Every structure is written in C-alpha cells, then in structure tokens.
Amino acid sequence: MADYQIAPSILSADFARLGEEVDNVLAAGADIVHFDVMDNHYVPNLTIGPMVCKALRNHGVIAPIDVHLMVSPVDRLIGDFAEAGATYITFHPDASTHVDRSLQMIRDAGCKSGLVFNPAMGLDALKYVMDKVDMVLLMSVNPGFGGQSFIPATLDKLREARALIDASGHDIRLEIDGGVTPDNIAEIAAAGADTFVAGSAIFNQPDYAEVIGRMRAQLASI
C-alpha cells in the first residue's frame, strides 16, 4: 500500500481549544497538521499566522505542520513560518511574483516546499521547478473556506499531476485539499493522491478516531 497520510485541516477545529484539538486529532491517528493561512486579500477570509504555529510547537506538537499559504505576497512570511516551526510551506504560484525564488527561499529556510493549484488552474507552473518542490497540492474546492463540496474535475487533474511526478523521478508528495470525506477518499487515492487534507469531515464528527479509521479502511481497500 502507498504511504498515505491524513492531514486534518485545523480550520474546522475549535480555535478556543486549539492545542487540545490538535493533540486529540493526532492521538486519533492523523499524520500531519494542515494549517490554513488566509489574508483577506488573496482569499476572502482571515485566519491564523506564525504566532499560532509557534504556539502549537510550544504546546508540544511534534508532528509535521503543513502550512498552506493563501496569502499575497508570499515571501515576507516564509522566514516567520520557518522560525515558527513549519515543516512544509506551500503557496499558490499565482500569488508570488517570482515562484522559483519563493520555492528556493522555503528550502533555504530549512522547510519543505510546495505549490498549490486552484481548481481552474493548469499545472504549467510546475514544469520547470519539479526539482524544487517537495509537495504538489491540488485544491478540490475554491480556497477560502472549509466545508465545501469536492469538485469532481480534480480527479483528472490528480491523474495528470501523478503522471508528471512519476515521470520527474523526484520525491514529491501529491496532496488534495477540499471536500475530502470517507466516502470519496478511495476514489481520490486511486487518482493518485497520497496526502489527504480533511477539515470538516473530521472536526465536525464527535469521534475523530472513528472517522480517521474509516478513511484508513477505505484507503486499505484500494
């Protein structure tokens, strides 16, 4: 079986109890903490920044933190998130003036780098930087909010991204973000994803271990 990883999006967690929520979801079997950063400019919502990432590290979180930047400009925040303990820093290529430079800045800061593609955006920006990315993240909803429905056309894009990654020979994770549930996760994995962000599907349930267990059972059935 592929090395599948489940990345709960803390956007849907109870922010008043964030440390406890992250502890609970990791204890329930999650692999990575997905950390959505929104700036009310690139996307029409406003969330959390480096101080909250640092607070989670200080709280004792040792799992990888996957920082999904939905901000423009990008570069100003890279050093702050690296210092705050980010593991991955991913950004939208259309939010950065110099994509190659932003990717290099992330690696130079000691983090893993990634590019994020909105639903209507093609994968062209990947072609010349395959050696500089550790993660490709496909949005399967329009960015800005949790709780939206998975856009089915993303399945074809996953297959396209999987083919590009495999042909590149580089070690690149393929992450999917938006509308992932136990009911569609197997189809999404079959299309090529290996890392699954899920916010509302996990945090809106009373028993995180139960829903993560159902996701893993679906993944094991492929």
Ligand X SMILES: O=C(CO)[C@@H](O)[C@H](O)COP(=O)(O)O
Residues at the site binding ligand X, with contacts judged by CB under 6 A:
9, 11-12, 34, 36, 68, 70, 141, 143-148, 177-180, 197-201
Is 177 among the catalytic positions? yes
E strand or H helix that includes residue 1: none
Dihedral sign for Cα atoms in the order 121, 194, 18, 58: negative
Non-local CB neighbours of 202 within 8 Å, separated by 6+ positions = 8, 12, 25, 30, 208, 211, 212
Q: How far is the CB of 143 from ligand X (least distance, A)?
A: 4
Q: Which is nearer to ligand X, 24 or 118 (CB)?
A: 118
Read off the tokens for 117.
């593609």
Instruction: Look at residue 64 and give the partner it binds from ligand X, Fe ion, none, a contact being a CB closer than 5 to 8 Å depending on partner kind.
Output: none
CA distance 157 to 117: 10
Name the residue among 45, 44, 52 with its Cα closest to residue 10: 52
Site size toward Fe ion (CB under 5 A) is: 3
Q: How far is the CB of 135 from ligand X (least distance, A)?
A: 13
Whether 196 contacts 190, CB under 8 Å: no
Q: Which is nearer to Fe ion, 7 or 60 (CB)?
A: 7
Q: Which one of the listed residues 3, 36, 39, 134 is annotated catalytic?
A: 36
Is 131 among the catalytic positions? no
Which of 56, 102, 177, 180 is the binder for Fe ion (CB under 5 A)?
Answer: 177
Catalytic residue positions, numbered: 36, 177
State the residues that interact with Fe ion by CB under 5 A. 36, 68, 177
